[in-house]
Structure 1
Amino acid sequence: MNDRIVVGLDGSAESLAAAHWAAREAVLRGVPLDLVHAEEWSSPRDLPVPTSEVRRRWAQALLNETADELRARHPELDIDIRSIDGGPAAELAGVTSDANMIVLGSRGLGTVTGFVLGSVGMAVIQATARPVVMVRANEDAVPHPDGRHAARDLLVGVDISRPCDALLAFAFEEAARRACALHVRHNWALPPLVGYGAAYDPRVHAQLEMSATGSLSDVLGPWRDKYPNVGVIARASAGHAATELVEGAAEAGLVVVGRRIRRSSIGAHIGPVTHAVLHHAKAPVAVIAHE
């Protein structure tokens, strides 16, 4: 793997916020930053499409101006730029196959958007096994005076019934780099008990919560030992994971969620919880692929 972070740039406010976030992350990790522009131009019928030379000049100007702005803020950062012709999703997934991370801009409260009509962000997440971070064009995404990420804790959602080592490895490492606390959330649903009374029996509920809390503690034990300096605030509770994570994202510096790697082209590649968090969380969202 080449130690570097790749950010997709298209000139939107979201992608510029992503570039600033990626630059801070690259400084934090001590790795180079690649600014990549990939765009497939199309136009409604009867409207002219910019010539290839016009498109090339525009893309180069965008890359140069953004790189200059980032170098002024982070003079120690090694920045490379490149412009690629072709479908953005496929090209970005290709150039980031050996990178540490890819960072893209995202418009919230709707579809996750990237370069072409909202399809690129989702397509890149599905196409790559590398961590993908989606960044909003909000106050937390713009540059900070000290050139660092906002001093906020991290939030990770785990399903202890499935493998979650990849998520926890990323979350603990990131929290250790930022010297911040890590909030771990696991949500579970009440079993289909016979009769409504049993479902709301506080003794049954307390028993189930105690079992889930114990299981979560067992999962986190080795990671607490490996990262003793990371403060962990873990909670297992009944309810919807997406709601819990979206609400927690309001106070988080980064939300970490997972997606299962699917070898088949059939079926969803992004689960409903991750999909909801990508749509509605206000904080940057890191999507970690796992088996």
Structure 2
Amino acid sequence: MLSPVVVGVDGSAESLAAAEWAAHEAMRRGRALRLLHARNWHPRQERAEIAYASERHLARRVLREAEERVRAACPEVRVDDDQVEGPATAALVKAADDADLLVLGSRGLGRINGLLMGSVALGVVAKATRPVVLVRADTAGEGEEAAGTDRRDVVLGVDVTEPCDEVIAFAFEAARLRHARLRILHAWRAPDRLTLGPGEVGLVGDPQRAEEWLGFLSAVLQVWREKYPDVEVLQTVVEGKPAGALLKAASGAELLVVGDRLTDRRGIPRTGPVTHAMIHRVGCPVVIVPHD
């Protein structure tokens, strides 16, 4: 049995947008959609029976609203729902283990500088070992026109010095499923006098250096181009910081795919700096693919 696409719902506008996005993605992948609501039940609180019944009623309403949103947007998708008790972050991380991918709503940065995305979504991204998609409320349904001719790009950030097969594979498959162009970006920075080693030549001009990086990127992608011959690929190398370059490239994109190294999470679970910047600032849906 194929693993479902799982979406966490809590009644917020962001989670309803995530449910709609997840429904379309489940249809693309030929998978069922599982709506999941986590109830933070506290059995020691006063009037426990009344509170418990109220929590269950709220959970059913949240799931019903999400299913109505899904049915209106994607009536043919196979849907089931579930509610679980316990901290939402732990429940969603556990659900992700058995999912094809997990979809969550994200607020990104609010109007007040520094008001970050929900702590639950951030905690799940930092701990999950399966791909997680974050969807903003204002992007619901965008790019979902089945017969649309003006398809937007899927954008992928690649570090050619440490390319990751899982991340690249996800991006190529996402582009194939959407019949979209895949724009692949590598950001490089020119060495300065402090980073040059003995005998190294630092006088190569920027155009030549960019050409070298483009050659490295082409070599990394060659096997993937052969595996996905129907995917149109645009390779780009730019000088600058990766976060800034990806943020610019993702403007108007249908989907951004980034990787997050599991080995960087030792100790306190956290995301890498580039991934952290993307999930807070990018407007389009963002896929975070964990990898070794």
TM-score, normalised with respect to structure 2:
0.87
Q: Does 1:222 align with 2:220?
A: no
Alignment of 1:45-84 (within 5 A): 51-84=51-84
Q: Distance in 2 between matches of 1:39 and 1:182?
A: 39
How far the C-alpha of 1:61 sits from its partner, in A, is 1.4
Alignment-mate amino acid for residue 170 of structure 1: F
Contact 1:260/1:269 (8 A) holds in 2 = no
Per-residue CA deviation, residues 42-88 of structure 1 (Å, 9 max, x unaligned), is: 8xxx9x9x811111101101102321332243232110101111101
Alignment of 1:48-197 (within 5 A): 51-109=51-109, 110=114, 113=117, 118-138=118-138, 140-142=139-141, 146=145, 151-193=151-193
How far the C-alpha of 1:187 sits from its partner, in A, is 0.5
Contact 2:127/2:270 (8 A) holds in 1 = no
Q: Distance in 2 between matches of 1:230 and 1:40?
A: 44
Contact 1:7/1:22 (8 A) holds in 2 = yes
Q: Distance in 2 between matches of 1:264 and 1:106?
A: 21
Q: Distance in 2 between matches of 1:223 and 1:289?
A: 19
Contact 1:156/1:182 (8 A) holds in 2 = yes
Over aligned residue pairs, what C-alpha RMSD do you find? 2.7
Q: Distance in 2 between matches of 1:174 and 1:74?
A: 19
Alignment CA distance shift 1:205-1:78 (3 Å):
same
Which moves more between the two structures, 167-176 or 72-81?
Answer: 72-81
Please name the residue that 2:272 is paired with: 271
How far the C-alpha of 1:245 sits from its partner, in A, is 1.1
Q: Does 1:262 align with 2:263?
A: yes
Contact 1:108/1:136 (8 A) holds in 2 = yes
Contact 1:24/1:147 (8 A) holds in 2 = no
SS of the aligned residue for 2:270 comes to: coil
User: Gaps (5+ residues) in structure 1?
Assistant: 196-200
Alignment of 1:206-245 (within 5 A): 206-245=207-246
SS of the aligned residue for 1:18 comes to: helix
Per-residue CA deviation, residues 13-40 of structure 1 (Å, 9 max, x unaligned), is: 1111000000010111110000000132
Contact 2:39/2:86 (8 A) holds in 1 = yes
Please name the residue that 2:286 is paired with: 285
Please name the residue that 2:198 is paired with: none
Alignment CA distance shift 1:221-1:146 (3 Å):
closer
Identity of aligned residues (%): 41
Alignment CA distance shift 1:217-1:143 (3 Å):
closer
Please name the residue that 1:39 is paired with: 39
Q: Distance in 2 between matches of 1:246 and 1:290?
A: 21
Contact 1:20/1:143 (8 A) holds in 2 = no
Please name the residue that 2:251 is paired with: 250
SS of the aligned residue for 1:184 comes to: strand
Alignment CA distance shift 1:2-1:123 (3 Å):
farther
Q: Distance in 2 between matches of 1:147 and 1:62?
A: 28
Q: Distance in 1 between matches of 2:142 and 2:192?
A: 48
Alignment CA distance shift 1:228-1:147 (3 Å):
closer
Contact 1:152/1:251 (8 A) holds in 2 = yes
User: Gaps (5+ residues) in structure 2?
Assistant: 196-201
How far the C-alpha of 1:147 sits from its partner, in A, is 6.5
Contact 1:9/1:104 (8 A) holds in 2 = yes
Q: Distance in 1 between matches of 2:191 and 2:17?
A: 43
Please name the residue that 1:25 is paired with: 25
Which moves more between the two structures, 5-14 or 202-211?
Answer: 202-211
Alignment-mate amino acid for residue 286 of structure 1: V
Contact 1:9/1:16 (8 A) holds in 2 = yes
Number of aligned residue pairs: give it: 278
Q: Distance in 2 between matches of 1:241 and 1:263?
A: 17
How far the C-alpha of 1:285 sits from its partner, in A, is 0.2
Per-residue CA deviation, residues 183-219 of structure 1 (Å, 9 max, x unaligned), is: 0000011112269xxxxx9842223212111100100
Q: Distance in 1 between matches of 2:177 and 2:157?
A: 19
Alignment-mate amino acid for residue 141 of structure 1: A
How far the C-alpha of 1:238 sits from its partner, in A, is 1.2
Alignment-mate amino acid for residue 35 of structure 2: L
